[in-house]
Structure 1
Amino acid sequence: MSDTQAEKYARRFAKVLDHIESNLGETLSTELLSQVAHFSRFHFHRQFAEYVGTSVGRYIQLLRLRQASYRLAFSRQDKIIDIALNAGFENPESFTRAFRNTFGQSPSAFRRQPNWEAWHERYRFRIPERKHTVQVEIVDFKTTRIAVMEHRGPTERVNDSVGKFIAWRMTSGLSPKDSSRSFGIVYDNPDTCEPADFRFDICGEVYDEVPANPQGVITKYIPGGRCARVRHNGSHTRIGESIYPLYRNWLPESGEELRDFPLYFHYLNLMPETPEYELVTDIYLPLKS
């Protein structure tokens, strides 16, 4: 298969994957999905499994369970029966059975103490990087004071730190999610960094210094200055598809030089209130003046 043919094939599968992500609440039959990308319905199951690494039915179920997982962990006011029905299950019993079989925990046990490392093991698909051209803007970012939960360690444990930061946000009232901007500061590339050495800051905008607190949230600043900004639409799990073209293509051709501050994200909306396919994240790459 030539590169051109491979790219066409990848684009057809990207249409299928995008359709699944944006229609998780709908009936997603094999016949419908094969039509989305103009594949033969007789061979679609095998093609999908070879491309993604799991069957189409299992992939859809895993995405629905992922959405439910975030609601269990981060929207504790939501009832499990509502989460089950929203995830496409007929009743809480079938939801509990599927959840336990997939993650080794019942939904209620996961809500109490999520095992995120085991959870991440279920989402190691072999989907190739979806290549696309990024639109880069040069912007001036103003110095911003932030409250920070410093995550240090494997990426699989980031959600544990997110949970602690959410708890601080709710109890302190100093950085309400609905009126303060949310950020993430990326010190290391998770694809090349040793898991134990990975560093990531979970941040919320604040207007005063953060007092001592049980969660260990501290005050930092995102410095002002010129940045290259790229908007990423969709799941945070695919944000690398917008980061790599920025470094690999745009930066060498731009003549710009990088400032001594890490890449960071501005989350314009967040799960679980927002479905994954509707997430919008601005990526900032600090540049020298």
Structure 2
Amino acid sequence: MKNKRYEQSIQRVCNYIYEHLDETLTVEQLSDVAHFSKYHFHRQFSNSVGVNVFKFIQLLRLKRASYQLVFHQDTRITDIALSAGYDSHESFSRAFKRSFGLSPTEFRRTPMWSDWHTNYQFKPTRGQITMEAEIIAFPELKIAVFEHRGPHEKLNESVSQFIAWRKETGLSPVTHSRSFGLAYDDPSVVEPEKFRFDLCGEVREEIPANSYGIVNKTIPGGRCVKIRHYGSHDDMDETVYYLYRNWLAENNETPRDFPCFFEYLNFFPEVPEHELITDVYLPLN
């Protein structure tokens, strides 16, 4: 019970940081949120998360900035710098390059997501697993698919191409077309070059051949267990593993011969990372 209370305290601090990422945060504030002594807070946070609290805050702001650079091309770099807490384009550029090896301008032009992932190596306590799983009848669904094949770290490069196609066709996510991901492989197990993940958008009719390589597929109808994941997509494995590790055995169910898939109900950086909502579906026999 003591360890659980300790984890909840760290979780509370992480959530507070997410909710106040645009504000000035102090050790006094954050130690109060955790109910820790300010004299020990730094070490306690670092031991749990893997980086000190101010590095954690900086990386969260730079992560949001990196997504804004790539996916919000119309936003000025100066405005992104200000929203990340920097008082000038120059200071932001120095911090960004120090962390990710490229200047903001270079990253916007040619995102190096694999290098970005290498530098973003810490595992904060984030996201929240709801154990309220339900069995539903999922209807057959036509989807347009961009097939990502290769290292998981390069998935965002495929996302950029899929977004470009959706903008060109008017099939924007959420407002006009639901968004899904089909997870064929576990990136922690499969060789990087063999990792497979389908980026999907709902369509009413089959799409014609196109220069983006988008293809037609179908999510088959049938029984699925559905569980809602709150928080960062980086923590989705915790929710997925719960279904495989606990839920199947506890409910005497077996998975169908179709991959686990996700429906993305909102998107980062349009909403803060801790407010992301994703429905996880595991097809059942």
TM bucket normalised to smaller: over 0.9
TM-superposed CA distance for 1:126, in Å, is 4.2
The 8 Å contact of residues 114 and 154 in structure 2, kept in 1 or not, is answered as yes
1:211 corresponds to which residue? 208
TM-superposed CA distance for 1:228, in Å, is 0.5
Task: Tell me whether 1:141 sits opposite 2:143 in the alignment.
Answer: no
Note the alpha carbon deviations across 1:212-264, whole angstroms, 9 max, x for none.
11211111111111110001111111112221211111110101121111000
- Could you list the runs of 5+ residues in structure 2 that have no partner in the other structure? none
TM-superposed CA distance for 1:22, in Å, is 2.0
Task: Tell me whether 1:76 sits opposite 2:70 in the alignment.
Answer: no
1:32 corresponds to which residue? 29
TM-superposed CA distance for 1:56, in Å, is 0.8
For normalisation by structure 1, the TM-score amounts to: 0.94
Task: Tell me whether 1:118 sits opposite 2:125 in the alignment.
Answer: no
Task: Tell me whether 1:255 sits opposite 2:245 in the alignment.
Answer: no
TM-superposed CA distance for 1:5, in Å, is 2.5
TM-superposed CA distance for 1:273, in Å, is 1.5
TM-superposed CA distance for 1:6, in Å, is 2.2
Return the alpha-carbon distance in structure 2 between the equivalents of residues 86 and 133 of structure 1.
31
Return the alpha-carbon distance in structure 2 between the equivalents of residues 89 and 251 of structure 1.
48
Return the alpha-carbon distance in structure 2 between the equivalents of residues 187 and 11 of structure 1.
32
TM-superposed CA distance for 1:131, in Å, is 7.7
After TM superposition, what 4+ stretches of structure 1 lie above 3 angstroms from structure 2?
Answer: 126-133
Task: Tell me whether 1:55 sits opposite 2:57 in the alignment.
Answer: no
TM-superposed CA distance for 1:8, in Å, is 2.2
1:126–1:234 CA distance, 2 compared to 1 (3 A): closer
- Could you list the runs of 5+ residues in structure 1 that have no partner in the other structure? none
Q: Secondary structure at the match of 2:270?
A: coil
TM-superposed CA distance for 1:128, in Å, is 6.4
The root-mean-square deviation of aligned C-alpha atoms, in Å, is 1.5
TM-superposed CA distance for 1:7, in Å, is 2.3
Matched length: 284
Return the alpha-carbon distance in structure 2 between the equivalents of residues 203 and 113 of structure 1.
23
For normalisation by structure 2, the TM-score amounts to: 0.95
Return the alpha-carbon distance in structure 2 between the equivalents of residues 210 and 9 of structure 1.
52
Return the alpha-carbon distance in structure 1 between the equivalents of residues 111 and 126 of structure 2.
28
1:195 corresponds to which residue? 192
Percent identity of the aligned residues?
A: 52
Note the alpha carbon deviations across 1:106-163, whole angstroms, 9 max, x for none.
1111111001011001221144687855110111111111111111111100001001
